[in-house]
């Protein structure tokens, strides 16, 4: 596709369950970011991939959160033992490394609700 694709668009789960959120970036974009956006807030950085490796995972709130990008394209954000506080919109973005502006191109987000 032409843009960043995220699935599912909506996910409702129960406290304690495991969830996976998927991101398919723009073809050729080597940089991939995950952000979390709570209601009324700006996006909060979680993790950044350059190629297959996590170049910066300093934003992951705790060890229940993990993300992978095994082939340098699609990424999966994994959340174990979900808590109600994990409810938010999870945004994925990709960027073309080396471009001067290097702006982020965002997907439409995955809205996670933990009951």
Partner 1 sequence: AQKITQTQPGMFVQEKEAVTLDCTYDTSDQSYGLFWYKQPSSGEMIFLIYQGSYDEQNATEGRYSLNFQKARKSANLVISASQLGDSAMYFCAMRPRYTGNQFYFGTGTSLTVIP
Q: What residues line the site for partner 1 (CB under 8 A)?
A: 31, 33, 35, 40-45, 48, 50, 55-56, 58-59, 89, 91, 93, 100-109, 111
Report the C-alpha gap between 21 and 108 in whole angstroms. 12
* Closest CB 16 distance from partner 1, rounded Å: 27
Confirm if 15 and 113 have CB atoms less than 8 A apart: no
Neighbours of 23 (CB within 10 A): 27
* Closest CB 43 distance from partner 1, rounded Å: 5
Cβ-based nearer residue to partner 1, 59 or 72: 59
């Amino acid at each position: 596709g032409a843009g960043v694709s995220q699935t599912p668009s909506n996910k409702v789960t129960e406290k304690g369950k495991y969830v996976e959120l998927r991101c398919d970036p723009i073809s050729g974009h080597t940089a991939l970011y995950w952000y979390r956006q709570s209601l009324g807030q700006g996006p909060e950085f979680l993790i950044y991939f350059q190629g297959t490796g996590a170049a910066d995972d300093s934003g992951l709130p705790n060890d229940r959160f993990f993300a992978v990008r095994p082939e340098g394209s699609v990424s999966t954000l994994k959340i174990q033992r979900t808590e109600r506080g994990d409810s938010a919109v999870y945004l994925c973005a990709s960027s073309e490394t080396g471009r001067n502006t290097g702006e982020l191109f965002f997907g439409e987000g995955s809205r996670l609700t933990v009951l």
